[in-house]
Amino acid sequence: MNILFLSSWYPTKTNPNFGVFVKEHAHAIETTGNDIVVLAIVIHRSTRIYSISLSDNIDEARVRTVLIELNTCFRDILYHAVPLQYYLVKSVFKKKIQPNFNPDIIHSNVVFPAGIIGHWLSKSLKKPHVITEHWTRIRHFMKTPIVSFWGKKAYESAARILPVSFYLQHEIMPYISNKHINKFRVIGNVIDSDIFFYEEKRQIKTELKLCSIATWTHLKDPAKQPELLIHALSELQKEINQTIILTMIGGGDKVPELKKLCADKLVKADFTGYLEKAEIAKRLQDSDFFVHPTKVETFGVVVAEALLTGTPVICSNVCALTELISQSNGILCENNVEDWIRGLKQAINTKFDHKQIAIKVKHKYDKINIGKAINSVYQELK
C-alpha cells in the first residue's frame, strides 16, 4: 500500500532530535513492505520575517522525505495558521509527490496541526485517514477556540486513531462521541534494539549507580521533577552504606541550578549534557537503576530504552508509566520525597532479572513489531 505520512514534528538539520519518535514510526512502516513517503512541515523560530525552504531526500532507511521548513519571527502565529500550512502541504503534495505517488492512506502524526491538515487532505483525496497521537497537551488543546473544533472533526472523521498509550487514549475519549471508541488501536513508540540492548550488569557493592535523562529547562509548569530525586537521594545517602553516583543526561537552562542543588545536598552527580543515543545506551548499561521523576508521560521512550538494556526503573506513578512498569522491572513512586526514598530502598532490596526485563520490552517495542502493528491497521482499511 502507498502511505502518505504527514507530520509537523520531524527531525531537521538544525534540530535532529525533534520528533525523532515520529521518524522511527516511519522507518517501522518501511519494514512492512508498504511504500511510504513522508511529507513534513516544520516551523522554526527565527529573526527573519519569513522564509521557506523545501528538501526532497531519501533517508538512511530508504524512506523518501519531503520537508517544508518555514523560518519566521512570527512562529506562534504561523503555527496556529493551519489553513496556510494546509495550502503549502497540498501544493507541495500536488507538485512533488502526486505525479508519481497515489496514496492509499493518509497517516498523520499528532492532531494539531498535522492531524487537521491530514483530515482536510484526506477529504480532498477521498482516502482513509489515520492519526497517531503522541501529544501530552490534548486537554489544553481542547480548550482553545476554532483549532480544537478542527481537531475534534479530525478525530471523529479518522478511520483509525493510534495513541501511543492507553493513558493517551483515555485523554482523547472525552472529546469525541462514544460511537468512535472502536477506532482506537494503542500502538507504542519504537525503541531501537540495535542501540539499546542487554549487557550483563557489573555491580559494585560499595556503589549505587543511577541514571536520569531529560531536558532540564525552566517552564511555568515543568513535567520533570529532578529536585524531588535529588532531595530523596540526599536523605537516602545517610541511610545506606553505598556511595550514590547519579548521572544526569541532558541539557537546558536549569542545569546550573541543579548542579548547585546537588552540591548543597552532597549528592555526587555527573551532568553529561547532550549525548548521542549509543552513548546513552552505554550509560544505562553501566547503571544499577534508571530514575525518572515526572508529572506527565504519554509513553515514556526513555523508560522503555532503559528497560531494553535490562536496567530496572524507579519512576513516578503517573500516566502511561504504569503501563510500562511492573514488579518485575521496577518501582513506581508517588511524587513526594518520602515515597521516593521508600521506592529507592525497595529497589535496592529487590533482585531483578535484568535479562528478562530486556527480552520482554524488545518483543513489544522493536521496529519490526511496531511496523507489523501499524500495518495490521492499514490492512483493516483495505
The secondary structure of the chain, three-state, reads CEEEEEECCCCCCCCCCCCHHHHHHHHHHHCCCCEEEEEEEEEEECCCCCEEEEEEEECCCCCEEEEEEEEECCHHHHHHCHHHHHHHHHHHHHHHHHHHCCCCEEEEECHHHHHHHHHHHHHHHCCCEEEEECCCCHHHHCCCCCHHHHHHHHHHHCCEEEECCHHHHHHHHHHCCHHHHHHECCCCCCCCCCCCCCCCCCCCCCEEEEEEECCCCCCCCCCECHHHHHHHHHHHHCCCCCEEEEEEEECCCCHHHHHHHHHHCCCEEEEEECCCHHHHHHHHHCCCEEEECECCCCCCHHHHHHHHCCCCEEEECCCCHHHHCCCCCEEEECCCHHHHHHHHHHHHCCCCCHHHHHHHHHHHHCHHHHHHHHHHHHHHCC
Q: What is the pLDDT of residue 17?
A: 85
Strands 51-58 and 64-72: antiparallel
What's the average model confidence in pLDDT over 22-33? 97
Set of cell numbers at residue 166: 492507553
Q: To the nearest 10°, report the CA torsion of 136, 140, 141, 142.
A: 120
Residue 202 has a pLDDT of: 85
Averaged pLDDT for residues 279-283:
97
Owner of C-alpha cell 549505587: 208
Residue 163's pLDDT is 98
Query: Could you give the dihedral angle defined by the CA atoms of residues 369, 32, 158 and 297, in that order, rounded to the nearest 10 degrees?
Result: 30
Alpha carbons 166 and 146: distance in angstroms, whole number = 27
Count, residues in the chain: 382
Average pLDDT over residues 22-46: 97
| 218 pLDDT above the threshold of 90 | no
Interior CA angle at 70 toward 64 and 75, to 5°? 135
Rg of the chain taking only CA atoms, in angstroms: 22
Q: What is the CATH number of domain 207-364?
A: 3.40.50.2000
CB 308 within 8 A of CB 297: no
- Quick one: pLDDT band at residue 221, thresholds 50, 70, 90? confident
Least trusted range by pLDDT, from 12-16, 20-24, 291-295:
12-16
If one counts every other C-beta atom within 10 angstroms of the C-beta of residue 139, the result is 11
Lowest mean pLDDT segment, chosen from 75-89, 116-130, 184-198, 215-229:
215-229
Contact between 158 and 131 (Cβ < 8 Å): yes
55-80 per-position pLDDT tens digit:
999 999 999 999 999 999 999 999 99
Bridge partner residues of 292 (DSSP)? 315
Buried b (16+ CB within 10 A) or exposed e, 49-71: eeeeeeeeeeeebebbbbbbbbb
Domain limits, CATH 3.40.50.2000, in the chain: 2-190+366-380, 207-364
Dihedral angle computed from the Cα positions of residues 231, 236, 237 and 239, in that order, rounded to the nearest 10 degrees: 150
pTM of the model: 0.92
Is the pLDDT score of 368 beyond 90? yes
List the CATH code of the domain at 2-190+366-380: 3.40.50.2000
Alpha-carbon distance of 148 to 130, in angstroms, equals 18
Place of cell 507530520: 7
Paired strand residues for 64: 37, 58
Q: 506513578: which residue's cell?
A: 317
Q: pLDDT class for 220, splitting at 50, 70, 90?
A: confident
